Structure 1
């Protein structure tokens, strides 16, 4: 509940201006709520209008993307890039291609990215972008033409020292390749302007695995520090079947857990013997199939229509890796009822405020997305460093740096939470630790 007068005033202003953007309002409220003790202790933040500036993007770019489909028909989509905050580095954040993309969704993602990037300790500001284009069912040629049209506009707003986009939902190696190729063609320069690139043209080893692996490194460290426990012998429920879910499953299995679920937008599969990851990879990475196919290929596995049911599967640890607000209050209560003790987020804001309240009321270990899924942007930052140095680190070197970053995020979050009277609260700690670094940089640079 907002009680600080300055915080309330800022949130009221956001509501007035952006009342039609529920995801953005949700993200802002959650952060401002946890920052109240910080604001009370630092009057210089109010004097410098830090919160008012934090919640208002430095720049919002919205543009038309016209392209031609395989039938020769002109299609028009909307493109977005929100450059939210550059106090600690160039804007950094992914591009999402999905029918649900709109300005409010991109703003919520960009706002979260400010604090997430700050937590990595790397010099990256917060940004996000994307389009309401849906690659699903499109040919490679159609995806290429769309990406080229998208980059034809976007290129004038980005650069290796200005804004460095990456991938997100439905923007993987194929899309990044097409986007990078078009940028190179238009600008006639070879630079690290996009991350998530192929290894042949400046990509980083471990980038594909980074968000999923990082999620598990974060969860393992939080379990060790807060519960003196580990993944060993635990049953894990994971939603999604994209890169984050696949590599979270892979690392959780390596750490001794049994992962029993995978899902997509149509439904989920439950395998009581543990998910066979080679089959999921073949379905999703091999031929972009639907997860239903898993149950057709694996004896004893069950397929269920609808996604929400995945949270009714008994487990020790839940790792939501699909999309925002996928766990509501009822799903959170089902998790608690069925024995779940840990929820760490691989997707962006996958839990509603009501779900988070259920976690907190029942004493679950809760790792918020901006901390738990920061591994992807962390290795994106490492890719930027490698591009600047014109070198490439080994998988082992990059993975070790990723593990260290995720463990430091847990430590930073817990230290910040303790300092401001929220001991053990990873959500409050992540918001506070990420904010203080950005806020101090904003104060130091003057009113911009």
Structure 2
């Protein structure tokens, strides 16, 4: 029987194989059991036969916010005009002072001193020199620089870009803002223009001009990295402009200028682990420098308001211990004897909540606000003492100048 079936089996298998290949090649020829059959002559409903791809193409496109094309015509290709405008007014400052030479401990013993002709005191002294920068801001010869550049100097020499050199006199210094004003007696002085530092914005181009490492006048470029920097522990009153323009030792007191060559700030300090520039430099804003300049020239000192307290920040834990719901205000950690706070009756342990109706949110910011209040002003205070809220009035005093030891521990400049 196999003899009769085999001749017909091979044609059948071949046909099935051909049919399978045809179906794979033309799948659309297969009937769709899920497709609705439309009677002849009937209109086709678009809602029934529209595919999913057609539904997507009928939707409105999503609204995507397109950024405006980046303009590359805003900045100049060269800042030589700004440098030519500002650099002549930036000076090099060389200060020197005489210090005691280190001696052998035995030299303090009168027995050993008799064997040496040590009556001449100059044999135990040496000259210590330092360098920095400054900015001429007036035709009258006033020069702005840093306090730490000329602190303790016995002689200050100023060198201009045009080659002239002269000795300078100290008009006044303000250690707590690290600013000083010098005066030189020369004719036809180049003067820098001051800008309104309130208009400075993060991202603005900044040029630092000074005398780094004593190599001569140098210009570096960067941007304004931040404004209003404080809590750095550099000065008592801090409102720094931060920049990544390279600032190195010797740049202190130099100019930070904008692309128009106008003074933005006085370069003051750097943050560095190596002693060189690491892209974090700080400058005193031009507005503050201008204010200090006017006070030092007209009054010989900077007059600031003062409460005579030592304040401590109020943490949540401390606030809870004083019965306060929020850590608002500062703790009076100490009271200066016979100071304004002492005379008003403030005591250590009091929590100062508000001054003149303004809530205290930041101790350092509050100290700066108090400094701007004229001495003699009556100031209402709100305090908490032993869990009880109290009101009192304090007469603002004048802040005394701190001693040199305190300043040397606090200040760290370039």
Same fold at TM > 0.5: no
Q: Which is helix-richer, 1 or 2?
A: 1
Q: Which has the higher contact order (CA 8 A, sep 6+)?
A: 1
Relative to the length of structure 2, the TM-score reads 0.27
Q: Which is strand-richer, 1 or 2?
A: 2
Relative to the length of structure 1, the TM-score reads 0.26
